[in-house]
Structure formats: structure tokens, C-alpha cells
Amino acid sequence: MPLPAGAASCGWWSDVLVLLTLLLGCGACGPSGSPPATGPATRPPATTADPSGSDREEPVSTPGADRPGRPATGSAAVGINEGVSIPQAFVTSGRITPDQEPAMLVADAAAVVDLGAGAVRANTATYPWLSWWNSRRQGGGWSRADAWIRAVTDAGLEPLVMVGPWPGNRTANYTDRYVPDDLDAYAAWVGRVVERYDGDGIDDMPGLRAPVRAWEVDNEPDLHNSVAPRGGRSRVDPARFETPAEYARVLAVTAAAIRAADPDAVVLSAGFYRPHTDPGRDWIERWLAEPGVRDSFDVLSLHCYFDGDDLDRVARTLATWKATAPDKPLWVTETGVPSAGRKPWISEEWQARMAVAVVGAFLAGGADRVFWHTLADPPPNPASRRSPFASHSLRRTSADGTLVDKPAGTTFRRMMAHLGPTDPRSYQPRDDGDARMLQTDRGWLLYWGTAVAPAGAREAIDLRSGDGRPLSTPIPAPAWFARAASGDAPDGPQGSLLPPL
């Protein structure tokens, strides 16, 4: 997100850096950003005569390749978590006015498209703060949610929108009772939200160009249930707050409201924070054991963060999915590794290698979507210690607000360009000794180990440098082997709940 005019010369920017770091460190997305850009113009919807005498918006179509603004390159299977966002500290301080927000969101969406990602996820704890608690606090207005939906869909990106009763991070700071006292009122609010963005022509957002099909219900309930709230604003006992049974109840009510408004909607579980651990898997198993819970969601959502120089945590996360809900598609709605930290191997170059490794391993392991956390690191602040979590992003923000690719951003963009807008259902794993590859109908992504080009390849490219390599020379990951026109096609497709963009 570019800074407001004159921000580089005023003192307020340094004042909010501590707040930004806290936002990043709590698991909510911190600042997002983008270079100045102009998004596609909004096309007004066609109208038809309604027998009632009022104009009724024509239903909009599901995102497709003919959409204006749709990225020409990039993978429909890879997105950016909270990549279109404005830090709350900017808004509440008054330094950013409501009329400035839409252009900033459009610029963020352009930056996501520039990286080659095909989807964006919104969290209830970050912009546009689409929770029942926040809606009541702000009087139920739609302006920020509309601006977010418009920026994302006008850019041709697939939106994944989170809804829930409370902000999805540090929930116990907002309530002592996770299950709302008035579930009927909460469900009615969820229905109004989905109806506004389902694209059926009834009570739709004015100017809606593509529907929201994927809805995620809350965020990281297993974290809320294990970590005491900070700041002394709540005295709840984590072991008794947002239990598996309570989350199952809220999920069932929310899913029913979503499906009543849009029978074609896809309902995701909350992204579980620690599926790679025994306690995390146990929490998921206890939640899945609640009566009717498996029928209340369509997709299992999991998170995976780590700073180890291997893919063990990715493997454990995939193992939890296959052990607990193999009948459900998997979306990894948050993942990432830092570019700064105390471990000796951590560096920006290491992050660039691991960005490809993590995305490739999850896609090869069967995930339908993978969302990287997040778009841009905050500007440097020598006066404040920054958590390594704040360095997960693919780009960095300079002191004047300019966005610059980190090595991970450059490598990520090259990976997306080679994966291209192909159907992610065609992805297949391919192993060759210690080499791990993702096979597509365009070629092979080498995401781990060292390999020579497979039979049928016509070109080998080092994704870190962008340079070509001899086909007969072993090259280390991350690399891309482009398929020759006569190369073998991948084996049968994977299943996918949503069509590709």
C-alpha cells in the first residue's frame, strides 16, 4: 500500500510502526502494499425490467478467463493471504480518509496480480473487518467490504472471504462467550452478507462484477483455545473458551446461513493454526467428532508456519489432513517462512528457495489452494525490535512507502509465470531420487533437491536467477523444466471444488 501524500516527511509513520509490528506478530496480516497503479474501470451491471417495477441487476457469472482484468499469467491455485488490506492503525488514526481507501485497495490488488497470484484471502481481524461484532459496532455499513470486493474482483482475483461472530484473532479480547447469545440475529447478518456478494441479481452490491463463492468461517479456533488473551482485557480461561464443541456449533449455524443465501457457495472450516502438532490434530479430531460437523463444511482449511530448513512441517500438515478429513479438499489458507531470524540458515535468499519449496510441496501433496502470508513487510524502524514473523512477506516497504521485491518475490513471480493459468487439477507429484517435482501440463517445477531435466523437457531455468541451464546438467531447486510440445501429458487430474479462474 503506497503511503498517503507527504507521509514520508511527517512523523506519524514511525509512530504506527510498533502497531504494525504487533499486528503482524499476532497472526493477523499486517501492512500490505503496492506500487502506484490504476485498476480496471468498474463496469456498471446490465439491468433488466423487473415485474415489480424496479431495476433488477443481472446475475453475474463465476470468475472465468474472459473476465476483464484477469491475470494473463499466474496460477489459480496460489493466492496471497490478506494481500489487499489497509492496517487498522492507519484508518483509526485518521491519517487515511475513507475516500483514499478504495484507490489503495486497487493498488494492492494490482500488486497481487503483478506477483502472478490468482486469489486473495480476507480475515475478519483485518480490512474489511467483516465480522458480526464489527458490523454492529460500526452500524452495519457496507462501504469497506464493498470497496474490498470491488478491488479484488475487478482485478480478476478469486476472493476468499472470512465471516464470523468476532474478529478472527485474539477473539477473547472481544467477548467472554464465544457462542453469540443471539444466534438468530448472527445468522441473519451472515445471510445478508452472502446475499450481497453472491451475484444472483437479488440485493447484490451495486456494480458487483463477479460473485464470492468461497466463505471461511472464523480463524484459528485451536489457537484461541490454547493461548490466553493479551492485554488484560479478558479473564477467560483458554481451555474453556471456543472449545471444539463451541466452534462446531457456530460453524453449523454460519454454514446453514451461507447455503440458504447461496446454494452454490463453498464453505471452508476455520484455518487451524497447529495441525502439524499432536495437540492440534487432537483438537481437529475432537471437533470432527461433534454430531453433524462433517456436513457443515466443504473444504478443510489449515495453516502452516515454520523456520526449519526442511519440509517436515509441511509433511505433517498434509498428514493431518489425510488422517482426519481425506474426503474433503484441502486449502492451505496461511503459510510462509521468514527472511529474518536467529537460525543460521535464515536469510532472504533462503526464503526465496523455501517460498517455491513450500508452495510446490503443498500443491504436489494435493492441496487445491495455497495462500502465502503476505504481500509486503513493513518499513524499517531502527527504534523498534521487529518480530521475525513480520518478515514473511514477498516484498518489502521502504521508508518512503515504495514496494521492492525481496528475492522471494522475484522467485515467486517467476514460479507463477511458469505455472501459468493452467487447471490446478492437472498437477501431479513426481519424485526422482531426492528431487521433488510438481508436474503440470506446461512442465515440471523442481521445488526440492537437485535434478536434470526430465524426458520431454525443452528448457531448464533457474528460478532464483532466471538464467537458463543445460538440460543435461543437474541443477538445484528451485528450477523449472519447460515441456516440449511433444512431451508426455500429466496423468489424471486431481479433484477441485471450485473451477479454475
Query: What's the pLDDT tens digit per position in 111-137?
Result: 999 999 999 999 999 999 999 999 998
Q: What is the pLDDT of residues 303-341, one digit of tens each?
A: 999 999 999 999 999 999 999 999 999 999 999 999 999
Confidence at residue 168, expressed as pLDDT on a 0 to 100 scale? 85
* pLDDT one-digit tens code per residue, 270-291: 999 999 999 999 999 999 999 9
C-alpha cell at 85: 488490506
* List of E strands, 337-374: 369-372
What pLDDT score was predicted for residue 233? 55
C-alpha cell, 101: 481507501
Residue 15 has what pLDDT?
33
User: What pTM, to 2 d.p., does this model score?
Assistant: 0.85
pLDDT at 492 over 50: no
Beta bridge partners of 271: 219
The yes-or-no verdict on residue 48 having pLDDT over 70 is no
Q: Which residues are bridge partners to 267 per DSSP? A: 215
Domains, the chain, ordered by start: 30-42+62-427 (3.20.20.80)
Instruction: Give, for 279, the enclosing helix (H) or strand (E).
Output: helix 278-288
pLDDT surpassing 50 at residue 211 = yes
Closest CA to 321 of 389, 360, 268: 268
Which pLDDT belongs to residue 487?
47
| Buried-exposed string 56-77: b where 16+ CB fall within 10 A, e elsewhere | bbebbeebeeebebbbeebbbb
Count of alpha carbons within 13 Å of 399, Cβ hemisphere only? 8
